Structure formats: C-alpha cells, structure tokens
Amino acid sequence: MEQIQSYLAGIGTIRKHGKDHIQYEVDSLKDLTQVIIPHFDRYTLMTQKQADFLLFKSIVQLMSDGEHLKNEGLIKIVSIKASMNLGLSETLKAAFPDVKPVQRPVVQLPESIDGHWLAGFVDAEGCFIVNTSKSKTKIGLAVTLKFNITQHTRDLALLNSLIKFFGCGLIKLRPTGSACDFYVIGLPDIISKIIPFLSKYPLQGAKRLDYADFCKVAYIMGEKAHLKQDGLRKLKK
C-alpha cells in the first residue's frame, strides 16, 4: 500500500479497515482530478470495473464544475451513482425516488493482455491451492495443485481470454450463477506456463509468499518426491 501511495505522488491516506485489513483512499477532488483519473486514463482497467471508473470520472467532472451545488447537478450525480457498483442505498432511494439510473458504459476487452496488468490481477484475485485427499495408492494420499482466479460472471469473457493467454486452463460457473472460476490443475501446465509467467512478472503483495510455497510443492511433485514418505512430509510442512 505504501508503495502504491508513493507511486501516486504520495497522495491519499492509508488507514486500518476492520480487524485485519488496511485501506488506501484518495478523496481530495484535486488529487482525483490531477493524479488518479489521469493514471487510469493511461492504464485502462480491463474488467467491467472500467464502467464504474468512467461513471466515477463523470461525477468528478460534475463536481469540478460545481454542479453538485445545484439541485439539477445533484440529481445527475445520484442517477450516475445508481448505475455504479451496488447502486443506491435505501436511504438515497427514499430521498430520490424518481431518479433513473444512467446507462452503464459498454466495456470491450482489448486485443491483448499486458503481463504487468495480469500479474497485478493475480495479486488481487488469484489463489494458489494445494489439495490433499485420501487415495488407494501405496502412499495413501493424493496431491493436487490448483491455480485459480474467481470473478463475477460479468467478467466471464475476460476469464475466457486467459485460456488463450496461458494456453491452458478451464472455466467453471458456480452454482449460484453469479461467479465463475478460471483454473489450472495440470502439473505440467503449472510448471511450464503459470510459474514461468509469474517468474517474469513477479507478484508484489504478501501473496508472493503463498506462491513461493506453491512453487516448492510443484517442484517436489515434478520430481515425484511426493510419492515417497520423506517427500510427502516435506510437502505437508
């Protein structure tokens, strides 16, 4: 978080958010206009969150023009907010019962995925999983590695594009219908495609520690050491 704040000209504040989380936030209209919006104009978001950014940007422009100080401008802002994220709270719905949400911008996937963007996406949304289950083999335990990214189904097209990018992986829709997963479970694909990618584009957050352990397990399995008790003990540790 401190590195992100430093990169963004030192603006904003970092504060505790709940028991185990911290939050970096920028709420200065000047900083939003001069730093945050130009950054995301230059480095475009690839998920459907880009639509929220474009709506947010239009609200910042209205506020910069002083429109939020007028009744008509305030209604415009509320109608834009109604199409962002989770929409309006019950309080705002009661206060502005006749407001109609504006149409959300249509977000198209770019022709190619930037590796640096994808590494950041994995830092935020990726999971590195080691599954163990009982088996009828001599060692009595089966081990499976899984690399996973979960998103809302509105970003299903983006997850599908990862199959083309990595040259491997599958997509699974969750029973609720609101989420989907891109995942890679084949050890050869993890060793030959996922690990080389993240070696070229390293993770920056604490998740890199989970990834380092994930790599250790992959290499143990690659050498088939997990089929022996000593290797299995090392893997469990």
Q: Which helix (H) or strand (E) holds 189?
A: helix 187-189
Predicted pLDDT of residue 203: 97
- Quote the CA–CA distance of 228 and 231 in Å, as a whole number: 5
Architecture (CATH level 2) of domain 2-95: Roll (3.10)
- Quote the CA–CA distance of 52 and 32 in Å, as a whole number: 15
- Quote the CA–CA distance of 228 and 139 in Å, as a whole number: 7
Give yes or no on whether 2-95 and 115-236 have one common fold. yes
Q: Which class is domain 115-236?
A: alpha beta
Q: Which residues of the chain have pLDDT under 50?
A: none
**Closest Cα partner for 55 from 104, 90, 114, 4?**
104
DSSP 176: T
Q: Where are the domains of the chain?
A: 2-95, 115-236
Predicted pLDDT of residue 192: 97
Predicted pLDDT of residue 66: 96
Predicted pLDDT of residue 135: 82
- Quote the CA–CA distance of 46 and 109 in Å, as a whole number: 6
Predicted pLDDT of residue 236: 87
Predicted pLDDT of residue 138: 78
DSSP three-state, residue 223: coil
Q: Which helix (H) or strand (E) holds 191?
A: none
Predicted pLDDT of residue 142: 86
